[in-house]
Amino acid sequence: MTAASVPNAAPALLPADTSIDWNRITRFGGLLALGLVFISLAGMPLGLNQRTVIEPVLSLGYLALMWLPFLAGYNVGNEIVLEGMEATKKGPRDLLGGLIVGAIGGVGLSILVLLIDNFDLRDPLVNWSPQLLEFLNFENGVGFGSWIWIPFCGLLGLAGASLQLMSQTMRRAVMTVILAVIVLSVFEFLIIDIVDPLKKVLYAQQGGLKWGAAIVVAILAAAFSLFGREPISQVRSNYNDATGPEKSRQTAVLIGLSVLALIVIPMFTGKITQELLANVGIFLLLALGLNIVVGLAGILDLGYVAFFAVGGYTTAVLTSSNRGEDWPSWFPSEIHWVLALIATVIMAGIVGLIIGAPVIRMRGDYLAIVTLGFGEIIRLLFLSDWLNGYFNGAQGITNIPPADFGIFEIKGTDPRSVFYLVLFFAAISIYVSWRLERSRLGRAWMAIREDESVAEAMGINTVNVKLMAFVVGAVLASFSGAIFATKVGSIFPTSFLILVSIIILVVVIVGGMGNIVGVIVGAFVLIGVLGGPKQPGLLQEFSEYKLLIYGALLIWMMLKRPEGLVPNARRSRELHQDEFLQDAWLKGEVDDAVPDSGDVDGTVAPA
């Protein structure tokens, strides 16, 4: 896949190498062992053990360890098949590889068991505890625990590797089964909340899928994967192939249905689900704004939380009865939420200009750090004694009243109303982003993202256009801030840590930079399942580990799939330009001299 391997690929159709790659196996095994030990010492197995996936055989704690050998076993047999090369035939070689990799990983855990049993390192390492030892021993004593992980992980690695031997359909079926069981168990709470009778059918008293139900779900998922895929892909290709008015009619139906679902679902769910949806919505609004700045215009704004804070604080100052005492008496106070929102939007636009103007000429990476600095400065100012008379410092502004619309009220104790408000603004934001993307301004943003100098040579006023991105992003974030202030009813500087910026960035990147659908998916998956910076998600047990997972996700996405889960076609072409060109060259579609990527260092383009 990398440019460096191209010269080797040029003499096409090399005979497949059939020997066992011991180097690769030991490397994978060592990494696996390290990973397993790290997960154990980070406390994930113990912390997650309370939650059952399948009653009574599998808890989330053991699952936290088991997925890793499985994945390693699968990946050790993975290979990158270059254009013009032949894939090696999968066989017992891969099974053996997976088995050995898993077993090496298991050795890591065995050593850990023996170490915990013999040494006390609890002083620096908080999870070096007898409880962890018990957990790793399957509560069967050290004699059992010291060897059981080796065959266990080996078998998991073998199972992972056996996926390599299966046909595409089979592999997909197995994946669907695993995913269905896990999703059903993770979403237990949500599903019960929506369809209460399912509780008795699917789930055990103390939580977790009943094992019988798990088998039924597995069979259904397998059946769906084997027989249900055809009609669905049919529908999908129908949609993709449709053109003109037919396509826009289908799109309209699709959007209408999803909006209807989002309006109807909260009516039947409990408060916690509504709260969850409201949180997802607030972060979705932020992510949509950042998507314009980062995804469309390619400006990496790490201080995006500043606009969220400005939105929240402006609304709070204008509506609260408990703002600081130093405000002059003529300054409007306790005004209606809608008026405050207008003021908030104007304020956010101004702050966007003020922050944007000095940074807009800087190199992309300097800009990132400087905006990060601005985000931190704004929080420090809200927190400082200096402006204490205006913003109440660390005590924050409390007593923010509900937004009163006559017939209905938006208040934090009624998360459903907040959700509807968020939905309204999300609809506006989505519409705005969608129209902007296809406007002259949107095309200018994308041109700048791809190459600023060329964009400027084409007559785009890069400074103004980039400032516009800042302002639009700021305004969208201020919506979110205004809603957030009203929802929580009070506002503190600690709600606006840099952390928030980074989590929104992860949402945008995981979803797919520059793609509205991707951002929506990202917000629902990440904020909904893992939770926001302080807001719990569906997996409440994960709250301790979610930031770690966000970090790991960010690295993994950047390395493996920088275009995100739901990629934007143009963006993904930009990111993989080298590979597209290479493939084209290897297929002989392009002239010899073309793969001149220009920026690949240390690689000589093949002549």
Partner 1 sequence: MFPLTSAVQVKGSRRTTVDWFLVLIRVVLISLIVVGILAFIAQQIDPENAFAKWRNPGANRLTAAQFKGLVVTGLSQGAMYGLIALGYSMVYGVLGFINFAHGEVFMLGAFTGFVTSNKLAEAGLWEGAAFLPSVIMTAILAALIATGAAVLMERVAYRPLRGSPRLIPLITSIGVSFFIQNAVILLFGPGAKSYPSNPEWLQQKRSILTFEVEGTKILVLIVAAISMAGLWFFVERTKTGKAMRAVAEDKEIASLMGINVDRTIVTTFAVGGAMAGIAGILWGLLFRSVIATTGFLPGIKAFTAAVVGGVGNLGGAMAGGVSLGTAEATAPLVLLEPLGVDGVSQLRDAVAFTLLILVLLIKPTGLFGERLSSEDRA
Task: Based on the shown chain and the rule CB under 8 A, indicate whether residue 490 belongs to the binding site for partner 1.
Answer: no
Which among 173-181, 328-336, 378-386, 586-594 is the span making contact with partner 1, rule CB under 8 A? 378-386
Binding mask 562-591 for partner 1 (x = CB under 8 A): x-----------xx--x-------------
d(CA 272, CA 528): 12
Residue 597 Cβ vs partner 1, minimum distance, rounded to whole Å: 7
Task: Based on the shown chain and the rule CB under 8 A, indicate whether residue 409 belongs to the binding site for partner 1.
Answer: no
Which among 7-15, 123-131, 153-161, 255-263 is the span making contact with partner 1, rule CB under 8 A? 123-131
Residue 16 Cβ vs partner 1, minimum distance, rounded to whole Å: 25
Which among 91-99, 218-226, 321-329, 499-507 is the span making contact with partner 1, rule CB under 8 A? 499-507
Let me know: does 81 contact 87? Beta carbons within 8 Å. yes
Instruction: Give residues 442-461 in contact with partner 1 (rule: CB under 8 A).
Output: 456, 461
Residue 374 Cβ vs partner 1, minimum distance, rounded to whole Å: 7
d(CA 464, CA 276): 38
| Closer residue to partner 1 in complex, CB, 188/376 | 376
Task: Based on the shown chain and the rule CB under 8 A, indicate whether residue 7 belongs to the binding site for partner 1.
Answer: no
Looking up tokens 């998916």 gives 521
Instruction: Give residues 175-234 in contact with partner 1 (rule: CB under 8 A).
Output: none
First to last CA, the chain: 18
Instruction: Give residues 125-184 in contact with partner 1 (rule: CB under 8 A).
Output: 125-127
Task: Based on the shown chain and the rule CB under 8 A, indicate whether residue 601 belongs to the binding site for partner 1.
Answer: yes
Q: Which residues contact 400 (CB under 8 A, 6 or more apart)?
A: 315, 316, 319, 320, 485, 486, 488, 489, 490, 491
Binding mask 298-317 for partner 1 (x = CB under 8 A): x-x-x---------------
Residue 474 Cβ vs partner 1, minimum distance, rounded to whole Å: 16
| Four-residue CA torsion sign, 465, 467, 472, 477 | positive
Task: Based on the shown chain and the rule CB under 8 A, indicate whether residue 545 belongs to the binding site for partner 1.
Answer: yes
Which among 50-58, 265-273, 514-522, 548-556 is the span making contact with partner 1, rule CB under 8 A? 548-556
Phi (first) and psi of residue 16, to 5 degrees? -65, 145
Burial class (CB in 10 A: 0-12, 13-18, 19+), 483: buried
Task: Based on the shown chain and the rule CB under 8 A, indicate whether residue 469 belongs to the binding site for partner 1.
Answer: no
d(CA 590, CA 586): 8
Q: Which of 43, 532, 533, 564 is the binder for partner 1 (CB under 8 A)?
A: 43
Phi (first) and psi of residue 491, to 5 degrees? -145, 130
| Closer residue to partner 1 in complex, CB, 43/106 | 43
Contacts 24+ apart (CB under 8 A), 421-424: 421/483, 422/278, 422/281, 422/282, 422/284, 422/285, 422/483, 423/259, 423/262, 423/263, 423/281
DSSP 224: I
Which among 56-64, 160-168, 189-197, 295-303 is the span making contact with partner 1, rule CB under 8 A? 295-303
Q: Which residues contact 316 (CB under 8 A, 6 or more apart)?
A: 323, 397, 400, 485, 490, 491
Residue 575 Cβ vs partner 1, minimum distance, rounded to whole Å: 7
Let me know: does 595 contact 16? Beta carbons within 8 Å. no
Residue 562 Cβ vs partner 1, minimum distance, rounded to whole Å: 6
Let me know: does 209 contact 221? Beta carbons within 8 Å. no
Q: Which of 254, 350, 458, 548 is the binder for partner 1 (CB under 8 A)?
A: 548
Q: Which of 135, 149, 152, 374 is the binder for partner 1 (CB under 8 A)?
A: 374
